Amino acid sequence: MARPRIRDDLAALEGYHSPQVDVDVRLNTNEAPAAPPAGYAQAVADAATSIDWHRYPDRGAVALRTAIAGLHGLTSGDDPAARVFCANGSNEVLQTVLLTFAGPGRTVLTFEPTYALHGHIARLTGATTVEGGRTDEFAIDVDHARAMIAEHRPAVTFVCSPNNPTGIVEPTDTITAMLDAVQAVDGLLVVDEAYGQFSPWSATELLAASDELPLVVSRTYSKTWAMAGARLGYLLAAPWLVAELDKVVLPYHLDSLKQAAGLAALDFLDDMEQRVASIVEERGRIETALDDLACTVWPSGANFVLFRPPAERGLDGDAVWQGLLDRSVLVRNTASLEHLDGCLRVTVGTPEDNTVFLTALREVLES
């Protein structure tokens, strides 16, 4: 008996995976280096006791969305919640955007190298993907971006800032120029700010100026809120755009406990900001140490650093990655990816983890 066939356009695709290896120091998935504050777990446990478990959750997640709008200063109008959309991790946020605005017969534009799931999810929706390039320093060239948008007229254009896996932060002028360009072709600009709290500026500043902009800014609780295990993400946009997403998302997709967990986290804003400051300080220490080891280092506005080991040591990126793994340190191996030959990406961990990584790297390079 023949097995059912998947869609022809999906047959050659592979899933998105990150290695999960049992090591002493895991610095490959850009997770927060420490668990949430001790009081947070108790706050979630307390909230769980008041949930009506036999009832469906609040379909609109109104309390959570209202609180997030307040966090970002988007409180004008009668309904701040209308500016926020929440989902099960920022990946579901992006999927919902693409199901709504992309799909068969439409084009999605990315600028490579960037977060692989932008193009991957676009293909899953049946959209045509077009890849723009970046400069040698991994920035987006404005003239190139304008030309790509004008030529391909994408329904959705992605900008990841800080960019994953390079850490590059796009300047305000680049984002506003691209926003003008997508408006000229009736498109949508999605600025993925999964690492936005580590960045010196945010595209959320543009949203406060107008409710007519075709602009989405996506965020996640996974990084700075140390809630990767909860899978909670959101986006900020004009009310008319959020209303369109509500047509697509599955009913009751955000469970009651997750909504309570997201609300409880916002009571620990000071802790989050202290952790961000600590990670930024450690990021600087890693960048300086990598530079001292003669590695090529790209400036990062995120919680990770992209680097290329020195070629004169006779070790390529794959060899260095394996050498680190042999010392029970796992980083992200990007050495075989297009545009990233020989490169590795290391997540900023605890100070102790970072010291172990740097010590192991020095041993590998000197071996």
CATH label, 18-37+270-366, candidates 1.10.3720.10, 3.30.70.20, 3.90.1150.10, 3.40.50.720: 3.90.1150.10
Q: Bigger pLDDT: 7 or 352? A: 352
Tokens of 183: 């408006």
Tokens of 136: 């040698």
Q: How confident is the model at residue 87 (pLDDT cuts 50, 70, 90)?
A: very high
Q: For the chain, what is the mean pLDDT?
A: 94
Distance in angstroms (rounded) separating the CA atoms of residues 168 and 300 = 6
Given a cut of 80, whether residue 105 has pLDDT beyond it is yes
User: In the prediction, which pLDDT does 12 show?
Assistant: 63
User: In the prediction, which pLDDT does 229 show?
Assistant: 93
Q: Is 123 exposed, middle or buried (0-12, 13-18, 19+ CB in 10 A)?
A: middle
Q: What is the DSSP string of 237-305?
A: --HHHHHHHTTTSPTT-S-HHHHHHHHHHGGGHHHHHHHHHHHHHHHHHHHHHHHHTT-EE---SSSEE
Entry pTM: 0.94
> Do the domains 38-268 and 18-37+270-366 match in fold?
no
User: In the prediction, which pLDDT does 324 show?
Assistant: 97
CATH architecture of the domain with residue range 38-268? 3-Layer(aba) Sandwich (3.40)
Q: Which amino acid, residue 236?
A: L
User: In the prediction, which pLDDT does 277 show?
Assistant: 96
How do the domains of the chain map onto residue ranges?
A: 18-37+270-366, 38-268
Q: Is 239 exposed, middle or buried (0-12, 13-18, 19+ CB in 10 A)?
A: middle
- pLDDT (tens digit, 9 = 90+) per residue, 338-359? 889 999 999 999 999 999 999 9
User: In the prediction, which pLDDT does 337 show?
Assistant: 80
- pLDDT (tens digit, 9 = 90+) per residue, 27-72? 999 999 999 998 999 999 999 999 999 999 999 999 999 999 999 9
Q: How confident is the model over 144-157, as a mean pLDDT?
A: 98
